[in-house]
Structure 1
Amino acid sequence: MRHAHIYLIIGVLLATGLFAAPAQAAPVLCEKWGSTSIQSGRYVVMNNVWGADTAQCIDVNQSGGFTVTQSAHSKPTNGAPASYPAIYAGCHYATCTTGSNLPMQASASAFGSLRTSVSMTYPSSGTWDAAYDIWFDPTPRTDGQNTGAEIMIWLNRQGSIQPVGSQVGTVNLAGGSWQVWFGNIGWNVISYVRTSPTSSLDFTINTFYADAISRGYAQRSWYLTSVQAGFEPWVGGAGLAVNSFSFGTGGGGTDTTAPSTPGTPTASGTTSTSTTLRWGASTDTGGSGLAGYDILRTAGDVVQRVGSSTTTSFTDTGLSPATTYRYQVQARDGAGNLSPASAAVTVTTLSGGGNGGACTATATTQTAWNNGYVIQPVTVTNGSAARTSWTVTFPLPSGHTITGIWNASYTVSGGTVTVRNLAHNGNLGPNGTVSFGYQASRPNGNTQVPTGYTCA
């Protein structure tokens, strides 16, 4: 959305030595790229006027925030914002804060304890959003553009603006209801827009990241690189303020008690492509309340969060016939604390078809660069009979690696990629269509992209 151009510029400045590490002082920042570290380097505050040449100043609060004191922006609301003044912890274009322990792989045991909080003040005028911006990369990157997932969490917005892409669902997380938006601009942008605006938020990073993983937009193997909180103004913006910000293990939250372990799931109604799970309810004594359950599915050595439920049942679809799966359930409370995983149930799907006729898959290369590409859309077109699942396979050229996929799940074996539908998009009527996309890296200078897509 906003970062591609500024990241390129900052990368050049860093490489040439013209952009120095943030200074300790500077209580008021008016420079376009001005930034300063606070609390002995624990956080960095940046002015970050990346999308406009109009004036903007921020008054830095050394105790952990800033106020936009001047903002002369007036940009069309159907395009990118003027800036992203923000406070952050972690690594942002070769400037890493002290003590954040980032980058950190999302599969690390400490990742589940990472917590952040923010308190904000909003003016009644202008057009803006108030948003966290949380970055993930397939590698432990400390500089350059992240190419995994950008999680945006909109606490509030004013004016006719919307996130990148389109709305794909709603979800209850961190004590609130959120619209879920998805788009891809060379990396996955997953935005959570609160349906009832709030001026403060306190949550674990995994609360939203686990949801993005369950939708196929992010991966547990990726690395968290930075956690940022601030504002995107299109028009005006003076008076926007971050009053306080925290990031770390435990953060500023009061509920650190995980829910109890869910009961062992049972399976019923198993077909060649689906099964229904039920389990005993968890209880939560931490005060934030039980928010729902995450369903874990193991196939071979691959463990996936395949969905979530606010009840004690879940139907998993798009399975392969005559295949054995293991299921476990984790409870999640309103503060993002996760329970231990339940005991497992083993399910073997029935043999036989159920696919409902032939289907085809066609792929379009959206964009390609020297060492990577984005394929979107890959359109699956059904035959004359309805189906409850679909699978697309294609050979991955030597040296290529898939770094992200959306609207589907995938596995790689022996150079062959197998893509399967998610729970929400397996059902196709006669001649119906559905699409997914993915991003991949390739050896520098290699111009190949995959071909030979087969649908079953």
Structure 2
Amino acid sequence: MRPSPPRPRHSRPRPRPRPRSARALLGALFTALTALAALVTVAPAAQADTTLCEPFGTTTVQGRYVVQNNRWGSSGTQCVTATNTGFRVTQADGSVPTNGAPKSYPSVFDGCHYTNCSPGTNLPARISGISSAPSSITYTYVGNAVYNASYDIWLDPTPRTDGVNRTEIMIWFNKVGPIQPIGSQVGTASVAGRSWQVWQGSNGTNDVLSFVAPAAIGSWSFDVMDFVRATVSRGLAQDSWYLTSVQAGFEPWQNGAGLAVESFSSAVRTGGAGPDVPGNPGQPVACEVAYATNVWQGGFTAEVTVANTGASAVDDWRLGFALPAGQRVTSAWNASLSGSSGAVAASGLGHNARIASGSSQTFGFQGTYSGTFAKPGGFTLNGSTCTVR
């Protein structure tokens, strides 16, 4: 079904003062037409968010991912509104028993789901040929509902783009209410640097392996392949199988209005790039970095601008650098930072994960230092050395 068209925004023009003469009228008209022409030339057209209320309605966000309403377990109305970087649940009527399946899975995805493939995706991809699959998300939660916030990752022996896959991996970032994953808990595991409860079972058509966080995670950047490899090690998939989609959203049982994915990014890197280089594999990057600081006794802020001086866009950029001894990051904005001292890597978020050719992205962080303050000696963008200005 087609998604609802965007609703245009309307504004009422201001009344103009009445001119006192024909000459004044002509002058005023000329001025108004000139201003109108400038406005039409300069101002971009406003674009409203798209709201989906059809059970399986979809739309595209960021030009790269598909947002889906995906209501299948209840007759109650559910609506999601796609935003520039994700979606929010704006209506969530109805409820289902908490000892059964959820009523829906409103979500955003990279890959292919029931013949619907996201723009430009390289999925399905053979697991053995994937070096890394970096993804990041920021959730907004509500308290007056029963739901989980979860990734849904699908694997199959064939590169299928339709129907149900053989194995489903779920990553529960949050759980509210008396609900549990399919099957039973079979142990605990450390995956991607975090501890998880591990549940295993089957829903009758596919195997399900679930990783449940012991406490809510609101925002995280991680490598999806860490969970895929953990699934292969448990015998629920093989390296010759295919990763077909990476999805993120919510499974609500009761209510759910207000839940939101504020930002989402996903990439699947095949070929020569290693797991620490989630950039364009095998392609050198041309880049330039500006590092501006404000320093006071014992503390500093840094504003970092990363410019792509090459001919191709850089997707899912990752800027690596080493903080001098005695420096430590305490907070950051407009990027996700891994590491707080020594070797540090900054990655783009959902809204700024791409650096177009000739463009740049800027992020910043605050930190502390001891001794004499110094700037990092060099920077690498997705493994390629950048010039510093």
Shorter-chain TM-score bucket reads 0.5 to 0.7
> Contact conserved, 2:164 with 2:205, CA < 8 A, in 1?
no
Partner of 1:7: none
> Contact conserved, 1:73 with 1:233, CA < 8 A, in 2?
no
Query: Are residues 79 and 256 of structure 1, via their aligned partners in 2, closer, same or farther at CA, if it must alter by over 3 Å?
Result: farther
Cα deviation, 1:310-338, whole Å, max 9, x if unaligned, reads xxxxxxxxxxxxxxxxxxxxxxxxxxxxx
3-state SS, counterpart of residue 145 of structure 1: coil
CA distance in 2, matches of 1:93, 1:169: 32
Residues 1:164 and 2:187 aligned together: no
Cα deviation, 1:8-65, whole Å, max 9, x if unaligned, reads xxxxxxxxxxx56x6885711111111112233x11101111110001111110x221
Return the match for 2:172 from 138, 154, 158: 154
Report how far residue 74 of structure 1 moved: 1.7
Partner of 2:141: 122
Partner of 2:119: 98
Partner of 2:378: none
Cα deviation, 1:338-392, whole Å, max 9, x if unaligned, reads xxxxxxxxxxxxxxxxxxxxxxxxxxxxxxxxxxxxxxxxxxxxxxxxxxxxxxx
Report how far residue 98 of structure 1 moved: 1.7
> Contact conserved, 2:141 with 2:258, CA < 8 A, in 1?
yes
Question: Which 5+ residue runs of structure 1 have no aligned equivalent?
Answer: 1-18, 258-283, 289-456
CA distance in 2, matches of 1:24, 1:224: 32
Runs ≥4 residues deviating over 2 A: 22-26, 249-257, 284-288
Partner of 2:67: 45
Return the match for 1:78 from 82, 86, 99: 99
Partner of 1:296: none
Q: Identify the structure with bigger relative contact order (alpha carbons < 8 Å, sequence gap 6+).
A: 2
CA distance in 1, matches of 2:258, 2:206: 32
CA distance in 1, matches of 2:208, 2:170: 7
CA distance in 1, matches of 2:316, 2:144: 30
Return the match for 2:259 from 240, 243, 246: 240
Equivalent positions of 1:215-294 (< 5 A) are 215-248=234-267, 249=269, 250=278
Partner of 1:195: 214
Partner of 2:298: none
Report how far residue 142 of structure 1 moved: 1.2
CA distance in 1, matches of 2:343, 2:245: 28
CA distance in 2, matches of 1:53, 1:247: 31
CA distance in 2, matches of 1:28, 1:127: 23
> Contact conserved, 2:158 with 2:241, CA < 8 A, in 1?
yes
Structure 1 range deviating more: 172-181 or 247-256: 247-256
1:59 maps to amino acid? T
3-state SS, counterpart of residue 257 of structure 2: coil
> How many aligned positions are there?
238
CA distance in 1, matches of 2:220, 2:192: 8
Report how far residue 186 of structure 1 moved: 2.5
CA distance in 2, matches of 1:142, 1:47: 19
Partner of 1:35: 58
> Contact conserved, 2:95 with 2:254, CA < 8 A, in 1?
yes
CA distance in 2, matches of 1:234, 1:170: 25
CA distance in 2, matches of 1:207, 1:256: 21
> Contact conserved, 1:154 with 1:194, CA < 8 A, in 2?
yes
Equivalent positions of 1:289-304 (< 5 A) are none
Query: Are residues 256 and 182 of structure 1, via their aligned partners in 2, closer, same or farther at CA, if it must alter by over 3 Å?
Result: farther
Partner of 2:80: 58
Let me know the Cα RMSD of the aligned residues.
Answer: 2.3
3-state SS, counterpart of residue 217 of structure 1: coil
3-state SS, counterpart of residue 112 of structure 1: strand
**Max Rg structure:** 2
* TM-score, structure 1 normalization: 0.49
Identity %: 50
Return the match for 2:231 from 185, 201, 212: 212
> Contact conserved, 2:124 with 2:160, CA < 8 A, in 1?
yes
Report how far residue 255 of structure 1 moved: 8.4
CA distance in 2, matches of 1:123, 1:57: 16
Cα deviation, 1:140-178, whole Å, max 9, x if unaligned, reads 1111221x2101000001000000001111112223211
CA distance in 2, matches of 1:71, 1:46: 14
2:182 maps to amino acid? V
> Contact conserved, 1:174 with 1:202, CA < 8 A, in 2?
no
CA distance in 1, matches of 2:101, 2:82: 25
Question: Which 5+ residue runs of structure 2 have no aligned equivalent?
Answer: 7-48, 270-277, 279-314, 322-340, 346-389
> Contact conserved, 1:45 with 1:88, CA < 8 A, in 2?
yes
3-state SS, counterpart of residue 228 of structure 1: strand
